[in-house]
Amino acid sequence: MKDSEVNNNWKGNSNGKPSEFPTIELEDSLPGILYDLLQKEVLALRKASHEKDQNLKDKDDAIEMLANKVDTLTKAMEVEAKKMRREVAVMEKEVAATRVNSAQQ
């Protein structure tokens, strides 16, 4: 590059002083830099999305497992309640029979 081209590549501000960045370098490298930044951001977002999806799947699995445990415990409680009702009915019959026997004596 010639000295005159380098001097022409610098934009001057209102004071006639050159700005910090050459025009050509900005125009050529800015899209590449932005593309790289966007690409990194997309990759980071995809990774975060995948992690969140996996986290949701894990939580859904845990919820399903807990729901199955609740169902199992509910059924066990129903079985125990039926068993207790039968035992109470048997005891009531025994008490009634004992009262009848006591009344007859």
Integer Cα distance of 64 and 102 in angstroms: 56
Q: What is the pTM of this model?
A: 0.53
Query: What per-residue confidence (pLDDT) applies to 3?
Result: 47
* Angle value at C-alpha 75, between 69 and 79, nearest 5 degrees: 140
Query: What per-residue confidence (pLDDT) applies to 12?
Result: 47
Query: What per-residue confidence (pLDDT) applies to 79?
Result: 98
pLDDT 10s digit of each residue in the chain, 105 long? Answer: 444 444 444 444 455 555 555 555 555 677 888 999 999 999 999 999 999 999 999 999 999 999 999 999 999 999 999 999 999 999 999 999 999 988 887
Q: Are 11 and 18 in contact (CB under 8 A)?
A: yes
